Amino acid sequence: FIFDGTEYVKTDALEIVDSFVGFYSLHSEGLNASSSLEGFNAATLGFQEKVTPIIDNVQYMLDTLQMDLYEQADTIEGGISGAIGQLDSFSSQSLEWQAEIYHYEAQELGFRAIRRSAVLAIFLASFAFGFLGLLCIIGTKTVCRKVVHMLQLTGVFSALLGTISLVSASVLLA
């Protein structure tokens, strides 16, 4: 876990104290000769009095945090599991939506040619009626007079077919 191996705080401080002792044993003659023994002893005592309580407090704080995390491990793990479950659910739901979209796209592709052909046929029929009416206007025969009425009907028929083609194209898109 996070706080495994934090005992170095205490052990390193104890090693520093031990290094004072080691330094003294190696250099005691020099310390005595230079009259620095009192300063060295004061520094060693000061370290023990001032730094050791701080180290103990830091170690206690780390131990407390470690225990709090151990006690809350189940809660943290449950939260993580819940979040993973929600993400898995969202992922599967997204895949289902994607499959549904692909299904509807495939259906639309099947109707696309039919829809285009139907709309084109409606506009071609309207064009044919308009062309027949134009021929009747050019020709002045009596038979064509009946077709002039057809030209008037073509306007209504074109409007009707245009509306039907737009509605049918919209319905086939949906």
Of residues 117 and 168, the one with the higher pLDDT is: 117
Q: Quickly state the pLDDT bin for 1 (edges 50, 70, 90).
A: very low
Mean pLDDT of the region 134-153: 66
- DSSP calls for 69-114: HHHTHHHHHHHHHHHHHHHHHHHHHHHHHHHHHHHHHHHHHHHHHH
Q: Is the pLDDT of residue 4 over 70?
A: no
Is pTM, for the whole model, over 0.75? Answer: no
Do 69 and 3 meet the contact criterion of CB atoms below 8 Å apart? Answer: yes
Check residue 104 and give its pLDDT: 84
Q: Is the pLDDT of residue 131 over 90?
A: no
Q: Write phi, then psi, for 72 (nearest 5 degrees).
A: -95, 5
Q: Is the pLDDT of residue 174 over 60?
A: no
104 CB-contact burial (10 Å; exposed 0-12 / middle 13-18 / buried 19+) = exposed
What confidence tens digit (pLDDT) does each residue in 9-51 have?
566 666 777 777 777 667 777 777 777 777 777 877 877 777 7
Mean pLDDT of the region 130-135: 71
Do 151 and 133 meet the contact criterion of CB atoms below 8 Å apart? Answer: yes
CA separation for the pair 60, 19 (Å, rounded) = 24
Average pLDDT score over the chain? 75
Q: Is the pLDDT of residue 5 over 60?
A: no
What confidence tens digit (pLDDT) does each residue in 106-118 have?
887 877 788 778 7
Q: Write phi, then psi, for 113 (nearest 5 degrees).
A: -65, -40
Residue labelled with tokens 């044993």: 25
Separate counts of helices (H) and strands (E) for the chain = 5, 0
Check residue 15 and give its pLDDT: 72
The gap from C-alpha 136 to its chain's centroid, in whole angstroms, comes to: 67
